[in-house]
Structure 1
Amino acid sequence: MSFAPLIIAPSILASDFARFGEEVRALDVAGADWIHLDVMDGHFVPNISFGPEVVRALRPLSARTFDVHLMIAPVDPYLEAFAKAGADHITVHAEAGPHLHRSLQAVRALGCRAGVALNPGTPASAVAHVLDLVDLVLVMTVNPGFGGQAFLAPMLDKVADVKAMIADRPIVIEVDGGVGPDNAGACAAAGASVFVAGSSVLRGGPDAYADNIAAIREAAALARGEMV
């Protein structure tokens, strides 16, 4: 069986906000595949993080894929700003607005890869009708809004459901929330290939980032039979 490449996407939500630029550079050097940027509006989720100008400021500091996760509603008015700021991927929530098709079409029209995210309370079937418009499906493994939460193990069944729905489409499955070496293997076995990790990567400071990233990658690879 062939698998999608394993992707580790550290979330800068867990970084030192006073050292954003240095943190992004350190994650790049440490072997991050993507940089995950969690955008929160205090409305769709009970927290506020940052907007497109922060993405714009960070963009020159890394050539890694910028994976922008918009936890905002309404989302459509802000898509162009994040695309122009340097997003490579833009993921919108299935729950964030009434016209999901339109949002995803707009993301692609802006030249970005399109993702759709599912909150824990939303079934996999909610995105079955848009799979031809997406490049990734993000399964939230915590309720969005805050970093450092405990992984919700029942979401593994949702990952497996999404994997079955995707069938042979070239779509990757991303997991986000409480992901670390202790559950990355189970996520990989269920079908995930992209692992968003905040606290588990950024703990210990920059000197620990490479080892933390490697531990998640190795746990996922072992579950897929790619390492002994």
Structure 2
Amino acid sequence: MTKLLCPSMMCADFSNLKKATQELDQAGIDIFHMDFMDGRFVPNFGMGLQDFELVRSVTDKLVDVHLMIQEPSKYVEKFADLGADIIYIHPEADQQPARTLDMIRQKGKKAGIAINPGTSVEMIQGLLPLVDYVMVMTVNPGFAGQKYLEYTDPKIEKLVALSKEYKFEVMVDGAISPEKVEQLSKVGVTGFVLGTSALFGKTGTYKEILMKLRV
């Protein structure tokens, strides 16, 4: 099964983000993953619009935005117009998530939901016909370098089963190590957001690391 390998650009070298983006592009990544936070939905701030514009300007690969913000509908048009290919919202942060997902698709973009570790499948099942991607947070969102939460595994397995009916890709984000890529791809997970557990700050070139993860 094809694995979608998605570097979390929040973990990249910000002293030369352009060079990091170019190197990852040439190494063969699938989707650039970009986190945006408002300090309210999660207690942190992520990347800025200028960072997104820079990454978008130097790659033809897919770029996603993960909106960890309250009222994400207010920003859908902005990111769609800047060239995001996939836009993730948190249903927990939106009064009308179905309407927001429809707005994303109306802009010609792929719609995704990201769900926190404590959010059940039952809570979001009604949205599954409206999405192209479901990203399970395997840490509490907001900070890099946390420990993988094993209790999310049954939820991932449920969503993989549902993905066959509703035709969406299952993604995971949070402390995704090489071992987790191997384990979860066997379960049926398609996409992996890679940060400091598997990609950044590791020995070897990006290309070498990605080749090992694809095996």
TM-score after normalising by structure 2: 0.94
- Alignment partner of 1:56: what SS? helix
Q: CA RMSD, aligned part only? A: 1.4
Which structure 2 residues correspond to residues 139-158 of structure 1 after superposition, within 5 A? Answer: 139-158=136-155
1:137 and 2:130 aligned = no
* Contact residue 101 and residue 111 of structure 2 kept, 8 A: yes
1:24 and 2:21 aligned = yes
CA deviation profile, 1:150-206 (whole Å, cap 9, x unmatched): 21122111111111223333210000000021111221122211010111211237x
The Cα shift of 1:116 comes to 0.5
CA deviation profile, 1:135-158 (whole Å, cap 9, x unmatched): 000000111001121211221111
- Alignment partner of 2:105: what SS? helix
1:204 and 2:202 aligned = yes
Match 2:87 to one of 66, 81, 90: 90
Letter in 2 for 1:202: F
Unaligned runs of 5+ in 1: 219-228
In terms of mean alpha carbon deviation, does 164-173 or 176-185 score higher? 164-173
1:59 and 2:69 aligned = no
CA deviation profile, 1:82-124 (whole Å, cap 9, x unmatched): 1111100000012111211011011111111000111000011
The Cα shift of 1:214 comes to 2.1
- Alignment partner of 2:10: what SS? helix
Specify the alignment match of 1:165 in structure 2. 162
1:13 and 2:21 aligned = no
TM-score after normalising by structure 1: 0.89
CA deviation profile, 1:43-84 (whole Å, cap 9, x unmatched): 111110123332122212011100111111121111111111
1:112 and 2:109 aligned = yes
Q: Percent identity?
A: 36
Letter in 2 for 1:114: A
* Contact residue 38 and residue 49 of structure 1 kept, 8 A: yes
Unaligned runs of 5+ in 2: none
1:125 and 2:122 aligned = yes
